[in-house]
Copies of this chain bind each other. A is one copy, B any other.
Amino acid sequence: MTLKDLATLLGLSPTTVSRALNGYPEVNEATRKRVAEAAQRYNYRPNTQAKRLATGRAMAIGHVIPISTQHEIVNPVFADFLAGAGEVYARAGYDMVLTIVPDDDEERAYREIRSKRNVDGILVHAPKAHDPRIALLNDLGLPFVVHGRASGVRAPYSWVDVNNTRAFERATEFLLDLGHRRIALVNGIDGMDFALRRRRGFERALAGRGLAADPALIVAGEMTEAQGHAAARAMQALADPPTAYLTASLLSAMGVRRGLEEAGLKLGRDVSVLTHDDELGYLKNGEQEPIFTATRSSVREAGRRCAAMLLRKVASGDPTPQTELLEAVLVVGQSTGPCRALHRQNEHAAETL
């Protein structure tokens, strides 16, 4: 059933039918109704390819998912992010086109996407500091939105990001307020922009109290359970182990928890753990009450925001960069408590009274 068929069936021209279906004003309301009903009855759907060719709009958004060539890791937050973005696209009648690219081959991928013209815009994932993709995409002239930011990139661009610096600054302050002074940071991979910002927030909070970060208490890497576990084991073996851990993901936090429990330590009492929580669907930080104290920010919501912003850009054609900064909320769970060392001092002080 093509447009032409439908038109013949109705005794109308394809022009009128097309206009009726696309909501153009210069068509009689009675006709429009008749057309709509026929379309319904004969289950007519415009051929996407034809529409795209005729309008020049692909009605699709591209997501380039980089896969680390070293670790072969698929970032676990993608699934939730895509779910969020997908909702928005679906509502707008857009398709979501995924391209999986080894991260040493991204430039070629973007160029190819551009010249194939099969998407109207691109969503950029996982920016690194000084990420060259931004300049490239600005060059290519394809609308894009970055999920995250790229420190060191001068050129303006549109982004949606969580205030990672502030989140980790507050998290660190929270631990400092509990009396912790030896705080470990179990961070994401070093080059990633979000990891840099989190570290910056961490260091800023420490500096605010006249403290310096101890390099022995900082580790950066893939945010896996194994990472957290290894970090906790290594750091607990130090002469002066940390009394609190700040981790970048729930998985890392779970690993840290295991390492600490193996050492016979109880979370929240002996050692504190505070993690960032992306609110992934399959990795919940407790049901009602959070298990870990956490800086919480929904990746799925970020996906929605990114998608909505990109669609606005595509629709308006306005190249003015837009930005949106989301704040994480600090939720308090069972995994943090006053610094034990301090606690003991206090007890001691009480005794001597």
Contact = CB atoms under 8 A, between A and B. Distances in A.
Contacts of A117: 45, 47-49
Contact of A281 (B50, B72, B101): B72
Interface stretch (A152-160, A204-212, A250-258): A250-258
Contact of A96 (B99, B224, B226, B257): B99
Contacts of A82: 65, 74, 98, 100
In the assembly, how many copies of this chain are there?
A: 2
B96 A282 contact: no
A350 B113 CA distance: 72
Interface residues of A, number: 58
B115 A99 contact: no
Interface in A251-291: 251, 254, 257-258, 261-262, 280-284, 286-287
A33 interface: no
Contact of A73 (B49, B115, B282): B282
A51 to B, nearest CB: 9
A95 B262 CA distance: 47
A74 B67 contact: no
A214 interface: no
A254 B52 CA distance: 48
Given A99-B96, A283-B251, A78 B75 contact: no
Contacts of A96: 97-100
Contacts of A47: 53, 116-117
A99 B75 contact: no
A225 interface: yes
A326 interface: no
Nearest to A82: B98
B74 A284 contact: no
A15 interface: no
Given A50-B53, A99-B96, A76 B116 contact: no
8 tightest A-B CB contacts, nearest first: A86-B100, A45-B115, A48-B118, A73-B281, A49-B52, A49-B53, A76-B282, A74-B79
Given A86-B98, A87-B100, A96-B97, 5 more contacts: A45-B112, A78-B79, A82-B98, A95-B118, A226-B286
Interface of A: 43, 45-50, 52-53, 58, 60, 65, 67, 71-76, 78-80, 82-83, 86-87, 90, 95-101, 112, 115-118, 222-226, 251, 254, 257-258, 261-262, 280-284, 286-287, 300
